[in-house]
Amino acid sequence: MRFWLTGLVWALAMITGAAHAAPADAADADGKSPKVAYISLIIDDLGQSPEKDSRALALPGPVTLAIMPDTPHATDFARQAHKAGKTVMLHMPMDPATGPYAWRPDLPLTELESRLNAALMKVPYAAGINNHEGSRMTAEPVAMAWLVGELQRRHLFFVDSRTSAKTVAAAEAQKIGLASLSRDVFLDDERTAEAINSQFQAAIKLAHKQGSAVMIGHPYPVTMEVLERELPKLKAQGIEWIELRHMIGLRGNQAMGGHGKNGVYR
């Protein structure tokens, strides 16, 4: 609760600051200042390559770095990212993902807990988790209810990557008031510069429509090229790139239009 309130205070302060700091030359043709919208960015699948990890870390702003526990550089990169002042997340493998940390529907809660503990040990300084894959696992109400309760106990937040329309993870988080949010736009399901830029622009449009957008990308070279070029342009497009915990406070655990109705997750 203390963490969630802190995030909300930060977000309100940022909104107030943005409202009072709009420069005179940012006015629209009708003389009114443009409405500021907010974006957060997560880069998934980190810990596999020092070169790719370093490029994601060097992005010019408050990028959140989601590190997979079953990668050779997970622990070292988590420490490096934390030292650089970035938000670190555990990118938790979930079925259909495989491996020693992956959650599967057939596993008992004791084994799920053991795997979560082991994964968090591999990714120190994790402030929260999001699911890697998980289209089957995030549809399991009992497991997701246990997970969000455990994250609440540990004062960690949760991001539902929404790899399936059948996910119940965000809904379970909302039921108990866990600090959480859901992904709006995947940037690079199609790995071409044109497609990634199109998704990036779609996120900007969505942010202006609903006030905010959460993007997830991956450390592919083409994704990094687009982000390195486009992220510095956000300010001129009326977008504030904010830290993920600020976004959680800003949204106040409310579902966006694409995820539910009247703020409640479907």
Question: What average pLDDT score do residues 246-263 get?
Answer: 95
- Asked whether residue 138 carries a pLDDT value surpassing 50, the answer given is yes
CA distances from 160 to 140, 176, 226 (A): 13, 15, 24
CA distances from 171 to 100, 181, 201, 227 (A): 27, 10, 28, 31
Q: Are 253 and 264 in contact (CB under 8 A)?
A: no
Length of the chain: 266
**Which token pair is 36?**
């500021």
Q: Whole-prediction pTM value?
A: 0.87
**Which token pair is 79?**
């420490």
Q: Give tens-digit pLDDT for 21-70.
A: 333 233 333 444 447 899 999 999 999 999 999 999 999 999 999 999 99
Task: Please give the share of the chain, as a percent, with pLDDT higher than 90.
Answer: 85
Task: Please give the share of the chain, as a percent, with pLDDT higher than 70.
Answer: 87
For residues 29 and 153, the model is more confident at 153
- Return all residues near 6 (Cβ < 8 A) that are at least 6 apart: 249
**Which token pair is 164?**
């399936």
Q: Give tens-digit pLDDT for 69-116.
A: 999 999 999 999 999 999 999 999 999 999 999 999 999 999 999 999
Cβ neighbours of 140 (radius 10 Å): 23
Q: What domains can be seen in the chain, in order of their start residue?
A: 2-16+36-254 (3.20.20.370)
Cβ neighbours of 178 (radius 10 Å): 25
Which pLDDT does position 36 carry in this prediction?
87
